[in-house]
A and B are shown apart, each in its own frame.
Chain A
Amino acid sequence: MGLLSLLRKLRPNPDKEARILLLGLDNAGKTTILKQLASEDITTVTPTAGFNIKSVAADGFKLNVWDIGGQWKIRPYWKNYFANTDVLIYVIDCTDRTRLSEAGSELFEMLLDNRLKQVPLLVFANKQDLPEAMSASEVAEAMGLVRLEERSWEIKACTAVDGTGLKEGMDWVCKNMKK
């Protein structure tokens, strides 16, 4: 990929290309989702101490998906990546009830940024395969997503490890893209 292609992927592309930002707390499953989208092996996913980028084709669009590490100490750097975002995807670990409010406050704080104004938001309620997982509607309610005004948003249940629900989510992404 190299530094040059980072520059290329940074700019809004006039063609059918979109910049998708994949954020969420650590261990939410962002990298697994990214690898599933790119049909890559997910057995060796380790915590992301930086970012991963993959280009995924969907509905005639080339989606450049940026998966940004979610560890606490690097969350302040999320805004490095805000510019020119077409869709924001926020991933929630539905089994992590204790950190749901933390996930919510990180999200709402981030949405205040001007560069994310009117950027459509997709929330992936991940890890639905696990028995103690909250449902998508529970998560939406707990996080207060209804408070989001003037922004198209959606929450989709998914299971990143087997890919369930990802397709539906990406269909929504393509339909609601900013451009």
Chain B
Amino acid sequence: MRANKIFLRYYPPGLALNYRAADNTDRLRHFDLLDLDVKTNVDALADSILLHELQTHDSISTSSASSSNLNSNVLDKPVIGGEVGLSATVTASSSQDTFSALKQAINKLQRKLLEPVKKKFYLHKRHVSHILPLTNVCFDRGGERCLTGSYDRTCHVINTNTAEVEHVLTGHDNVVFSVGFNTPRWSVSYGFWNNAILFSTFYSDKVVTGSFDATAKVWSAASGQCLCTLYGHNAELVAAEFHPLHTYGLATASLDGTARVYDVETAQELQQLSHHSAEVIAAHYNRDGQLLLTGSFDRTAAIWDTRSNSCSHQLRSHSAQLSNCVWNFSGSLIATGSLDNTACIWDVRRLDQPLHLISTHSDEVLDVSFDAAGKLLATCSSDCTARVWQVSGAMEELSVMAGHCDEVSKVCFSPSGCMLLTASADNTARLWLTESGMCSQVLAGHEAEVFSCAYSYAGDTIITASKDNTCKFWR
């Protein structure tokens, strides 16, 4: 067994091996290492990947990976610079080399999981070109650009380094509420010449905005031009998300009580998902995009099979409106937060009742968020606290983040999961150590409540967006 190249994905940890199989074909095999932590025995893991996983797969697989289009959800980073790729000329001791390179790769993934607990963030730039309050924000995968939605009906594409506006996306007739990039894609091809592997990097090239004007618009991230407008909803559109694998799919959620799926290429509505009896406020694809999870003010979440256009499950247990619902990375668990002061964790194999009920918040649960690997869940509440839960193995409360003096409306983990970021109506965002619940930092300076916050994928930049019409970059 000889690996030509190893690709790494830091968050959640995973890798892909490009190797020459026994039948002399080039293959690419992905491994999720979601359970990897600092205590993992690297030798044993490398061993099991090479000996068991790969060979078992080899014997059953018949497909030859002559070309493969890789998606970042599955694969994040070809290891360029600090490359762990192997020389293809080594033949005699090749399997030994593969083993040590694999260990090196896993070690690197392990180190990435330790970042960055001690790092302090400082105000890097302030972005002031919106003239009305901001809504949601997000980074692209590289952390070089971010999107800000605003009550001023625009979305700004901002260069994170300079805080300068690259594009102002204008065209919506009302508040831009939801913003998102499409999934970046890595294209890998195998050259015929010398079997060299060519990979080219693509960044997210499209942006979606969802507006209170009941439409979504798709924009070119490079030019800022509007590519299409997606009509159909008849009330405020509050969530919009690209399909994780193919960029022509897009799901939306609206206060009109429906979720819809669109084809971005043709701007046609493909599906109308209208099982909910009240406003739909969240819509998230699972990892492979075959299922769509929606959360509604009708107190339920629903899972839709986007292939058959049907509601396959409705998650009933909450006694008040849902505030959010999310998948974990692998799609095995779902978390729902509700204004009934509880959050629920659901096992997708058994959806008639929640796997676990979180009921220690004393007021409305306003947001729920899994860490990258899906081993931890964070909840935040009007009771001014955020809480972190261990969801692998025994469900238990790991830590309580107390310190905000007004409701905590958004919560997210750092990519490594070591830190928790919260946004609050007390005009601050705060950083907490996940394990202990200690406050590491107060990101203060906004003059009104912080509506949203986000971590860049590399974990080195934070954006906070506020009702005070500004957003701040912290590094």
Contacts and interface: CB of A to CB of B under 8 A. Distances in A.
Contacts of B136: 3
Nearest to A2: B409
Contacts of A73: 131
Given A2-B449, A3-B409, A49-B469, A11 B279 contact: yes
A179 to B, nearest CB: 18
B160 interface: no
A9 to B, nearest CB: 12
B151 to A, nearest CB: 6
A146 interface: no
Contact of A50 (B255, B323, B448, B452): B448
A80 interface: yes
Interface in A57-84: 73-74, 77, 79-80, 83
Contact of B449 (A1, A7, A11): A1
Interface in A25-74: 49-51, 73-74
Interface string B130-173: 01110110000000000000011100000000000000000000
B174 interface: yes
**A3, A4, A49, A51: which has the most chain B beta carbons within 10 Å?**
A3
A80 B297 CA distance: 22
Contacts of B467: 50
Nearest to B407: A2
A74 B132 CA distance: 8
A1 B466 CA distance: 12
A54 to B, nearest CB: 13
A110 interface: no
B366 A4 contact: yes
Given A7-B279, A11-B279, A50-B467, A2 B451 contact: yes
A11 B235 CA distance: 10
A49 B151 CA distance: 11
A3 B151 contact: no
B341 interface: no
B255 A4 contact: no
A111 interface: no
A140 interface: no
A161 interface: no
Counting chain A residues whose Cβ lies within 8 A of the other chain, the interface size class is: 10 to 19
Contacts of B448: 50
A8 interface: yes
A10 interface: yes
A7 B281 contact: yes
A7 B255 CA distance: 8
A77 B62 CA distance: 60
B151 A77 contact: yes
B467 to A, nearest CB: 6
A3 B174 contact: no
Interface string A1-24: 111100110110000000000000
Contact of B451 (A3, A11, A49, A74): A3
Given A50-B468, A50-B469, A4 B409 contact: yes
B238 interface: yes
Interface string B278-316: 010100000000000000010000000000000000000
A10 B281 CA distance: 12
B9 interface: no
Given A11-B255, A11-B279, A50-B469, A4 B132 contact: no
A79 B468 CA distance: 20
Interface residues of B, number: 33
A51 B451 contact: no
A80 B133 CA distance: 12
Interface in B212-268: 212, 236, 238, 255
A77 B152 contact: yes
Contacts of B50: none
Nearest to B450: A2
B211 to A, nearest CB: 10
Contacts of B255: 7, 10-11
B463 interface: no
A11 B238 CA distance: 13
A3 B407 contact: no
A83 B151 CA distance: 14
Nearest to B135: A3
Interface string A67-109: 0000001100101100100000000000000000000000000
A34 to B, nearest CB: 15
B333 interface: no
B276 interface: no
A82 to B, nearest CB: 9
A77 B279 contact: no
Nearest to B323: A4
A119 to B, nearest CB: 18
A52 to B, nearest CB: 9
B414 interface: no
Interface in B457-473: 467-469
Given A2-B451, A3-B451, A80 B151 contact: yes
A5 to B, nearest CB: 8
Interface in B11-60: none
Contacts of A1: 407, 409, 425, 449
A47 to B, nearest CB: 12
A77 B153 contact: yes
A4 B281 contact: yes
Given A10-B236, A77-B132, 4 more contacts: A1-B425, A2-B449, A3-B177, A80-B153
9 contacts: A1-B425, A2-B425, A2-B449, A49-B132, A49-B468, A50-B133, A73-B131, A77-B151, A79-B174
Interface of B: 131-133, 135-136, 151-153, 174-175, 177, 212, 236, 238, 255, 279, 281, 297, 321, 323, 366-367, 407, 409-410, 425, 448-449, 451-452, 467-469
Q: Which 3 A-B pairs have the closest CB atoms?
A: A2-B409, A50-B133, A3-B451
